[in-house]
Chains A and B, each alone.
Chain A
């Protein structure tokens, strides 16, 4: 049963998964294109960090885009059919929702792995100035966690009606609580640096 649900979700969202995987692989590699030599002045090292930092906003953006797309695609076919098909299948509703969630979560794996590989390749290719370090695994873990959190949030919201989603997202109090520690979206704030001190 799970395989078939995974198959349908793959079919609906494969383009997003493939594009997201490609982007996740290329992003770390592109971000280190200005890394030059090991012997640089403090000013040049700072400029490199600034350059890396300017790319860092793209990681949470990409994680959010992939998670949002997968969450929306998980429910879009059921929304179109007004959930009649899903509700008429002989499985408990929580079970069906859990399997849909799980299938989407599985599809987050390729972009996460692609980012890890891309970050490892970038770290290997780039010449890092003295005093700076690369953090490919930490960056990939953060990216994977951000995708998982965003996917869970968007999946829950998109499972409801548009009106419910509107209510949830329009309450500033909830937005703050989500974004600030210990809110689940706190993962999106902070430093997303492949190269850092």
Chain B
């Protein structure tokens, strides 16, 4: 499998408190890769390192087959980027911002830009400083898409967009960075979870969603013993217990027969619940 992004042994430090350690991350070509993690976990920093906006202490980053930072202009010419915070020149009008941006990209598509322009309902002669958050988000998205990028890197791009536009633009995404987990669930096929500068999990979305379950267990053993799955949490309610587990597969229900318990129900978790449980797993040993 080829990878659009391949990060190995990445080290980065900002100040005394924040660091990224031994980060390895691979985004398969053609995938919609979602980056999950709480605020301050290192998602935006990783994106900035990937695009050469920050310099790592060590490690290697390959994007679209080219090395960062050596080939950064070549990579950026093929990458659409929507940053977390609006970054365009505020004194320009929308039309001027489009013309300014377009001259830097040989693949710029005016036809599509105009189409998106109409679709987003923007006014060409409005100054960027007068735009609402949602309009600015639309413009940033328009600029990133109209350059016909091979790789699209979006750092919380839907913040402030209305639901209709949000749904339309999300269809074109290759890389998605967000802690808005419900959106990721709808569009991503791979997911990476970051916490405190570490990538704690990287797996296909389906595995992520399927692997974490809540089980209702009657007559549970006092100690789970050697389980074929990872028990993340146990809660007692009305004579039964609810176990939150990771790595669950249906044949594993035989385990309960072996310990004299009975499995009453297997409950699917949505992505947000799964994300919270996964983070809890990784944090417990360190707290």
User: Is there an interface contact between A81 and B89, defined as CB atoms closer than 8 Å?
Assistant: yes
| Cβ contacts under 8 Å, A1 to chain B | 103-104
User: Is there an interface contact between A85 and B104, defined as CB atoms closer than 8 Å?
Assistant: no
Of the listed stretches A7-15, A54-62, A107-115, name the one at the interface; the rest are far from the partner chain: A7-15
Indicate if B24 sits at the interface (CB-CB under 8 A): no
Name B48's closest neighbour in chain A (CB-CB).
A84
User: Is there an interface contact between B90 and A4, defined as CB atoms closer than 8 Å?
Assistant: no
| Cβ contacts under 8 Å, B96 to chain A | 7-8, 11
User: Is there an interface contact between B90 and A80, defined as CB atoms closer than 8 Å?
Assistant: yes
CA distance A82 to B86 in the complex (A): 11
User: Is there an interface contact between B103 and A11, defined as CB atoms closer than 8 Å?
Assistant: no
User: Known contacts A4-B100, A84-B53; is A90 also within 8 Å of B105 by CB?
Assistant: yes
Indicate if A92 sits at the interface (CB-CB under 8 A): yes
| Sample of 6 further A-B pairs with CB below 8 A, known A81-B88, A84-B83, A88-B81 | A3-B103, A85-B87, A90-B72, A90-B75, A90-B104, A91-B104
Indicate if B91 sits at the interface (CB-CB under 8 A): yes
CA distance A84 to B84 in the complex (A): 10
Which residues from chain A sit less than 8 Å from chain B, CB to CB? 1, 3-4, 7-8, 11-12, 77, 80-82, 84-85, 87-92
User: Is there an interface contact between B87 and A84, defined as CB atoms closer than 8 Å?
Assistant: yes
Indicate if B51 sits at the interface (CB-CB under 8 A): yes
User: Is there an interface contact between B89 and A77, defined as CB atoms closer than 8 Å?
Assistant: yes
CA distance A88 to B103 in the complex (A): 14
Indicate if B137 sits at the interface (CB-CB under 8 A): no
User: Known contacts A1-B103, A4-B99, A8-B100; is A88 also within 8 Å of B73 by CB?
Assistant: no
User: Is there an interface contact between A90 and B74, defined as CB atoms closer than 8 Å?
Assistant: yes
User: Is there an interface contact between A91 and B73, defined as CB atoms closer than 8 Å?
Assistant: yes
Q: Which of B98-123 contact A (CB under 8 A)?
A: 99-100, 103-105
| Cβ contacts under 8 Å, A11 to chain B | 91-92, 96
| Cβ contacts under 8 Å, B88 to chain A | 81, 85
Q: 8 smallest A-B Cβ distances: which pairs?
A: A90-B77, A90-B76, A84-B87, A85-B87, A81-B87, A77-B89, A90-B73, A4-B100
User: Known contacts A87-B52, A90-B77, A92-B73; is A12 also within 8 Å of B91 by CB?
Assistant: yes
| Cβ contacts under 8 Å, B74 to chain A | 90
User: Is there an interface contact between B92 and A8, defined as CB atoms closer than 8 Å?
Assistant: yes
CA distance A197 to B73 in the complex (A): 57
CB B17 to nearest CB in A, in angstroms, measures 20
| Cβ contacts under 8 Å, B85 to chain A | 84
CA distance A7 to B98 in the complex (A): 13
| Cβ contacts under 8 Å, A92 to chain B | 72-73
CB B44 to nearest CB in A, in angstroms, measures 11
User: Is there an interface contact between A88 and B91, defined as CB atoms closer than 8 Å?
Assistant: no
CB A99 to nearest CB in B, in angstroms, measures 11
